[in-house]
A and B are shown apart, each in its own frame.
Chain A
């Protein structure tokens, strides 16, 4: 199962405070390589770290030890939208794509010895779709696997406002927020304000059938996957152009909104390529 999952490499541009040894820069003193400073043997009684050069240079003849920062593990979370609109998708339903991304993230976190957690939400945060943070990613991957066959009912995504309560309150985490973000800007802004403590990577899932791969010509009825609102569409070139235009402006709108929160969005359309996510981290996150 795990063999098929493609991992990506990620890093964070900040220091975490995790005590658990890991791969990321940390503020935690410990058995790391990163020199932090000196202190007296009395305050840090570790004779292995006695710095002889510093000790003999001290006129007060105190014994000094060297301090190092360890590398710590950073909690990685996937917060996944399970609302009705995620059921959409021409080739692959968005929810399935989201599950693939979650699996990839879980696998990558496992490779980096980071704990991984999964939180699903629709109208509310779904307690049955929560996998608590763990260094063993199997449970989360199993959950993502079952997510592939999940058909969301027609519910909205109001739970995004409460999702911050399920993240560690004191520890900054790397959070992949997977959704199509088909929600009002006000709701999204309110939710993002509460998530500012964490490093958010918004993964925007759109499907080309939503706007670019519309049928050429014909009549169709559409109903909203969440509200059930009905519309009749007479698809023709004019309307298709307008729809594409509407989605492009929405893309720009979301981009501007995320950039105000300093969270560059990662757009996924139809297919998820883990390498692109690696690229994303190289581009937007200072090493």
Chain B
């Protein structure tokens, strides 16, 4: 009887400790969820660490995917506090759907679109015009509906009058980082990514050309309308715009807005 009693007490104690542990974590840490374009992956991992160091007790949770997919998640009620997109169109769509605090939105970095080939590739591709050659059979590109890098590539190729001719060769990626992965593994012959993505895999891919665009690539960031942590979210955006934040992002090749 007494043994059974001791067992019960132990169980209760165990449950209580677990509860206190969880409560302790919740009280000590404030969580900030940041949804950022896939191309911001390395830059924001650094930025997040710096922000945590400057704000003790805050934990930054990062969520990377194609900008269009992130906006869709926010629309479906994902608990996100800050949203950073790789293009203006996605952010404007988010405004139209009243998903963002409009006056909090700022442009914070700029980027360039580049054409890359696998590092070990012996092709003589020097610009987009060479992609029409026979030995180039597969070209990776972000899905234009959801991936900004894909939409920029579409604009650049349409402007050069190549979009229709190259269409059968496209392999669509779910995000710019998937395109980078396809090229760096040598599964495709070429691909369109941001210059900052090419930097991350510089030992496996080779940049052959910088694409000309009519509109500059500028990334906006803003506070999500549904968040309960508007003040903290605003502080993160200020941090991204600050000298320290800009320096962390410049390390990965991002330019000033």
Q: Real complex partners, A and B?
A: no
